[in-house]
Amino acid sequence: MNGGAWQNASSVTVKYTDTVNLAPWPQSGGSWGWSGPNNFVAATREITGISLPAGTNTYTATYANPAGVTSTQTFVITVSNPITPYLEVNGGAWQNVATVTANYTDKVNLAPWPQSGGTWSWAGPNNFTANTREITGIALPVGTNTYTATYTAPSGVTSTQAFIITVNSTPITPYIEVNGGAWQETNSLTVAAGNVVNLAPWPINGGAWSWAGTNGYMANTRAIYGIPLISGTNTYTATYTNPSGVQSMEVFTITVE
């Protein structure tokens, strides 16, 4: 490997830049045949500068001795991924990770290494593509977003790295008002029959709201006033969809005595 000493081994882990030669024994007599990745074939004992795609590469040598008896030997060369993942959230420190959980308002940048040499390409949500090493202010749709970087080394060997960014839902803060009194930060309350109850969760701005409640009640405003209440337990469910499209829910329980 890399012009160093020959190793009596049939498996090795190398970097994508390494040069690997294979030369099994016996050195004379008989004949050789090889098969390997990408339809590689050869008829010499020694094969040099073999092609090494990313991942596990298996080369199989077949030796036929002068009597015509054949034997085989498998060589397994594992090529480590040359991509080192880095991501940045909201202009903070670069993190040597490939996964992160972010809020829908966060700004996420991706910039894997190596910084020079070779070429880059990206694929991501909503048919996103790019051909720069660093991509900034990436779009963060609903839930889990996968951005895949493909690096092609100067030798033509490619490797990939997936970045997974999970977008948090927006927490809902519940508020209830009874008979025009002070707003209470709670999602459950017991009231007397005839009380007027209003519900107005936060956040106040951005996104969209929808409600489902007692007797088929529906609404699409954040605050709902004078909600219908029957004797016993009344359940009103608020669904908030933030500007990124991520939904969160809050259940309000109003018990009428």
**Domains defined for the chain, CATH in brackets:** 11-79 (2.60.40.10), 87-167 (2.60.40.10), 176-256 (2.60.40.10)
**Predicted local distance difference test score (pLDDT) of residue 105:** 78
Strand residue runs (E) in 28-178: 31-36, 40-42, 55-64, 70-79, 87-89, 99-102, 108-110, 119-124, 128-130, 144-152, 158-167, 176-178
Tokens of 138: 């990436």
Q: Which residues of the chain have pLDDT under 50?
A: none
* Cα 114-120-126 angle, rounded to 5 deg: 130
Find residue 247's DSSP bridge partners.
241
* pTM of structure: 0.56
Torsion, Cα of 135, 136, 139, 142 (10° steps): 90
CA 109 to each of CA 93, 135, 213: distance values in angstroms, whole numbers, following the listed order: 11, 6, 41
